[in-house]
């Protein structure tokens, strides 16, 4: 079977598997909604089945195809002859659906919206990771770094035979990262797909499907209004901060620094040259729009046109920071949108089967996106409690817990324990993020902006809360921070709720009929939670909670901005909508078109080398001449060829993955790695051999630059006359099993 036929067969089977599962849900699907749901559900269910099969026979073309095929067969048998009749009547059904779609008044609008979504995501993912003149090039810094993690996991499954999964970044340790986002690329590679295509294509397909499901969720909640649903989707994809206010100052400063056509006075004062200068700026968008956080870039502007100083802007462009580099994000957004849609309709119509489906979808998520399960559980659970539909909790929670509890425990099992570890009670998140304290330090510290919850008593928590809320600057910082980071979004959300509580007339009646306050309530509770508790060791990762808040909160905001009938309100709404998406649109344009930093010359591409021919040579030698389970000593390069391309394991890879995801202390391992790299001293005892044996190291890699603060003593290793596995101008890998000390 050729690679093309194998990959094509895989996607056809995935779609059929998804349709089989989706059609088992008693729901009034729209045609595009049904197909988008089938893509994501089929991918998730098929990957789970293929993963289980691979535990016995490895990652092969057979296991790649058997997953979706088995789902299709089981679905067919479960429906017996009805399934065969459905297949036989498929042409008639398609003709009927096509005529129904063509006669629908919203068809042109949907074609335009979904077409734009497809083209937009194609522009982002077509070259996210692609070969250019023999070098694999990453689209951007976030893709370069995050996809190194994803590639390492995918290659470890395929080339390192890493099943059941262990952590390739810390050899021998359990893997507590969502397994299956990166298991699917391994399946595609087994069918003959190249590495970059195996990462690019599923990301594109799932992202488009997720966007379509978000549109349909908004469309259903808002009473089937195409314009409002389209604005809601636009806000989710581009909603950002007020960073656009610095467009002219940044761009003008760049022109001053890099050209002779514009002077400092043209930037500092209004003059007859200002319009022409503004046009020049449009053609030279600076990368500083992407540099967050910042105190507006720290550029010393003092002129009339100076942008106002903004607090740290932590709300980054969703497409560039989440949808592209974080491969689990689109799965999470799509599945949450689908499960929330089913849950909302179930609560409104008292439909228990839809609650079962919503719970099952949430339960399938932890090994793809653990945040998704928690969001689905919280959002639908709040709706059920608010409506006092206690009997509905059972059909919802049983599939959610049965399917999701064990996978969620596996993913969460890597969290560190100890006094200085997450979760962290931190009122206001980054609005005043600073010094975090333990319960023991609370009484003696000058000021604690956060409190580590492990080891803290209820009294400690109460003391911290009272101290924080008693500080008047806390409130000013909180309000200013969120206004800078989300603009008028929060005031508009409050205004939408106020129309229900205090308003009269058409908008009040419509908001009550749509039940918008009840719909938005659990999402605002997510916002409140994320402003109270930091759930991961990297505090910035709370932005993942905020993205789900924005997904639900954007729907009432879109309704409010599109519900006015007077011309003045429509103009004002359009201007407000522009302020919400301007930074996101500008940063996306900068990323696609190219960028340059202030004082750093002309516009350049944002792309970064990920695997050049030298790296590919190293990876090929490692793959060809070492066993799949071989352990390497590496210094922690993010895109290390041994891990990211050859799929082998390291004593300690890039330590950021461990700290940022689990908060794990790595001092012992880093000290051991440092000792091994240092070689033996001229006098005294030598620990190198013992440590190499302890960590089962077969190969030591010397990389082009030091990482983790580790300095490699390559001269010592060279002096031991060790066999060289591969050597290039920047890489050398030695075989070191001969240095092992005998067992004591």
What secondary structure does DSSP assign to 128-156, as a single string? SEEEETTEEEESSHHHHHHHHHHHHHHHH
Distance CA 447, CA 461 (A): 14
Q: Where is the domain boundary, 563, 593, 623?
A: 593
446 and 546 in a common domain:
yes
Burial of 668 (0-12, 13-18, 19+ CB in 10 A): exposed
Distance CA 388, CA 347 (A): 10
- Which pLDDT does position 29 carry in this prediction? 92
> What is the extent of the structural domain holding 564?
414-593
589 and 448 in a common domain:
yes
- Which pLDDT does position 600 carry in this prediction? 47
Spatial strand order of the sheet with 608-611 comes to 129-132, 135-138, 608-611
Residue 686's CATH number: 3.40.50
- φ, ψ of residue 137 to 5 degrees: the values are -120, 135
Alpha carbon 339 to chain centroid distance? 19
620 and 546 in a common domain:
no
Distance CA 634, CA 654 (A): 9
293 preceded by cis ω (within 30°)? Answer: yes
Residue 118 covered by a domain = no
Domain count, the chain: 2
- Which pLDDT does position 507 carry in this prediction? 83
Phi-psi region of 223 (alpha: psi -120 to 50; beta: other; left: phi over 0): left
270-304: pLDDT as tens digits: 677 677 777 776 666 655 554 443 333 334 444 44
- Which pLDDT does position 303 carry in this prediction? 43
Number of other CB atoms surrounding residue 272 within 10 Å: 7
What secondary structure does DSSP assign to 615-652, as a single string? HHHHHHHHHHHS-TT-EEE----TT-HHHHTT--EESS
674 and 541 in a common domain:
no
436-466: pLDDT as tens digits: 888 888 877 667 888 888 878 899 899 889 9
- Which pLDDT does position 379 carry in this prediction? 97
562 and 629 in a common domain:
no
- Which pLDDT does position 685 carry in this prediction? 84
Q: What is the maximum span of the chain, computed from C-alpha positions, in angstroms?
A: 88
731 and 658 in a common domain:
yes
The SS3 assignment for 742 reads: coil
Number of other CB atoms surrounding residue 310 within 10 Å: 21
End-to-end Cα, the chain, rounded Å: 53
- Which pLDDT does position 264 carry in this prediction? 73
- Which pLDDT does position 711 carry in this prediction? 83
The SS3 assignment for 425 reads: strand
- Which pLDDT does position 614 carry in this prediction? 94
Token pair, residue 388, equals 């006092």
The SS3 assignment for 436 reads: strand
Residue 643 covered by a domain = yes
Residue 403 covered by a domain = no
Residue 510 covered by a domain = yes
Closest CA to 480 of 678, 694, 267, 312: 312
Residues in the chain: 744
- Which pLDDT does position 294 carry in this prediction? 39
The SS3 assignment for 75 reads: helix
Report, as ranges of residue numbers, the positions in the chain whose pLDDT lies below 70.
1, 79-105, 250, 253-254, 257-260, 268-270, 273, 281-311, 414-421, 445-446, 593-606, 658-665, 706, 708, 741-744
Q: Where is the domain boundary, 593, 626, 659?
A: 593
622 and 561 in a common domain:
no
Residue 552 covered by a domain = yes
630 and 579 in a common domain:
no
- Which pLDDT does position 38 carry in this prediction? 96
Residue 324 covered by a domain = no
651 and 170 in contact (C-beta within 8 Å)?
yes
587 and 687 in a common domain:
no
- φ, ψ of residue 160 to 5 degrees: the values are -90, 0
**At 725, which helix (H) or strand (E)?**
strand 724-727
Residue 604 covered by a domain = no
490 and 442 in a common domain:
yes
Phi-psi region of 25 (alpha: psi -120 to 50; beta: other; left: phi over 0): beta
Q: Where is the domain boundary, 534, 561, 593?
A: 593
The SS3 assignment for 126 reads: coil
Burial of 506 (0-12, 13-18, 19+ CB in 10 A): exposed
624 and 588 in a common domain:
no
Distance CA 480, CA 473 (A): 10
Distance CA 402, CA 396 (A): 11
589 and 616 in a common domain:
no
If you compute the radius of gyration of the chain from its CA atoms, what whole number of angstroms results? 27
Our separate counts of H helices and E strands in the chain read 32, 12
- Which pLDDT does position 536 carry in this prediction? 81
- Which pLDDT does position 93 carry in this prediction? 55
Number of other CB atoms surrounding residue 290 within 10 Å: 24
């Amino acid at each position: 079977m050729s690679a093309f036929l194998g990959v094509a067969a895989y996607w056809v089977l995935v779609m059929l598997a998804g349709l089989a599962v989706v059609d088992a849900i008693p729901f009034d699907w729209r045609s595009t909604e049904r197909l988008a749901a089938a893509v994501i559900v089929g991918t998730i269910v098929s990957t789970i089945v293929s993963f289980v099969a691979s535990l016995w026979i490895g990652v092969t073309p057979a296991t790649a195809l058997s997953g979706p095929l088995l789902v299709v067969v089981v679905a067919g048998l479960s429906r017996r002859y009805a399934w065969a009749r459905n297949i036989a009547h498929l042409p008639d059904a398609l003709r009927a659906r096509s005529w129904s779609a063509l006669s629908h008044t919203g068809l042109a609008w949907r074609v335009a919206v979904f077409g734009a979504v497809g083209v937009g995501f194609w522009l982002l993912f077509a070259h996210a990771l692609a070969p250019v003149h023999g070098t694999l090039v990453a689209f951007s810094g976030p893709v370069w770094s995050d996809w190194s993690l994803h590639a390492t996991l995918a290659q470890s499954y395929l080339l390192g035979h890493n099943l059941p999964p262990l952590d390739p970044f810390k050899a021998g340790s359990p893997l507590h990262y969502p397994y299956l986002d990166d298991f699917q690329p391994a399946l595609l590679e087994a069918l003959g797909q190249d590495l970059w295509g195996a990462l690019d294509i599923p990301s594109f397909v799932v992202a488009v499907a997720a966007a379509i499901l978000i549109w349909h969720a908004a469309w259903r909640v808002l009473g089937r209004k195409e314009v409002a649903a389209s604005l809601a989707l636009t806000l989710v994809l581009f909603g950002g901060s007020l960073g656009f206010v610095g467009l002219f100052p940044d761009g003008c400063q760049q022109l001053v620094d890099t050209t002779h056509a514009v002077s400092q006075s043209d930037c500092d004062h209004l003059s007859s040259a200002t319009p022409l200068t503004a046009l020049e700026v449009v053609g030279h968008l600076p990368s500083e729009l992407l540099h967050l956080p910042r105190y507006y870039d720290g550029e010393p502007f003092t002129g009339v046109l100076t942008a106002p100083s903004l607090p740290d802007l932590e709300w980054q462009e969703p497409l560039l920071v989440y949808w592209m580099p974080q491969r689990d994000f689109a799965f999470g957004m799509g599945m949450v949108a689908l499960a929330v849609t089913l849950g909302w309709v179930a609560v409104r119509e008292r439909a228990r089967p839809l609650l079962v489906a919503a719970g099952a979808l949430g339960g399938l998520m932890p090994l793809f996106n653990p945040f998704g399960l928690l969001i689905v559980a919280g959002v639908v659970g709040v709706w059920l409690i608010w409506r006092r539909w206690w009997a509905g909790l059972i059909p919802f929670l049983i599939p959610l817990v049965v399917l999701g509890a064990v996978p969620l425990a596996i993913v969460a099992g890597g969290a560190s324990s100890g006094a200085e570890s997450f979760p962290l009670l931190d009122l206001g998140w980054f609005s005043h993020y600073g010094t975090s304290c333990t319960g023991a330090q609370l009484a003696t510290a000058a000021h604690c902006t956060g409190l580590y919850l492990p080891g803290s008593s209820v009294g400690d928590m109460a003391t911290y809360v009272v101290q924080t809320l008693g500080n008047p600057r806390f409130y000013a910082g909180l309000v200013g921070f969120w206004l800078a980071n989300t603009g008028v979004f929060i005031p508009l959300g409050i205004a939408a709720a106020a129309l229900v509580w205090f308003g009269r007339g058409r908008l009040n009646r419509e908001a009550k009929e749509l039940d918008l306050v009840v719909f938005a309530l659990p999402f605002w509770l997510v916002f409140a939670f994320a402003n109270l508790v930091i759930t991961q060791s990297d505090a910035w990762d709370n932005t993942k909670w905020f993205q789900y808040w924005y997904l639900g909160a954007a729907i009432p905001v879109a309704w409010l901005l599109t519900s006015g009938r007077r011309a003045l309100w429509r103009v004002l709404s359009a201007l407000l909508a522009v302020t919400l998406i301007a930074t996101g649109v500008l940063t996306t344009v900068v990323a696609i078109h190219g960028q340059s930093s202030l004082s750093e010359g002309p516009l350049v591409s944002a792309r970064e080398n990920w695997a050049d021919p030298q790296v590919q040579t190293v990876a090929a030698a490692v793959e060809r001449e070492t066993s799949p389970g071989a352990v390497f000593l590496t210094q922690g390069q993010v895109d290390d060829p041994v891990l990211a391309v050859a799929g082998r394991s390291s004593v300690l890879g890039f330590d950021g993955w461990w700290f940022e995801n689990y908060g794990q202390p790595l001092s012992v391992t880093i000290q051991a790695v440092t000792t091994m790299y240092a070689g033996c001293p001229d006098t005294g005892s030598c620990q190198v051999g013992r440590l190499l044996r302890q960590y089962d190291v077969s190969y030591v890699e010397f990389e082009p630059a030091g990482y983790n603060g580790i300095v490699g003593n390559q001269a010592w290793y060279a002096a031991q006359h060790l066999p060289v596995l591969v050597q290039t101008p920047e890489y050398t890998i030695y075989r070191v099993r001969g240095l092992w000390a005998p067992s004591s």
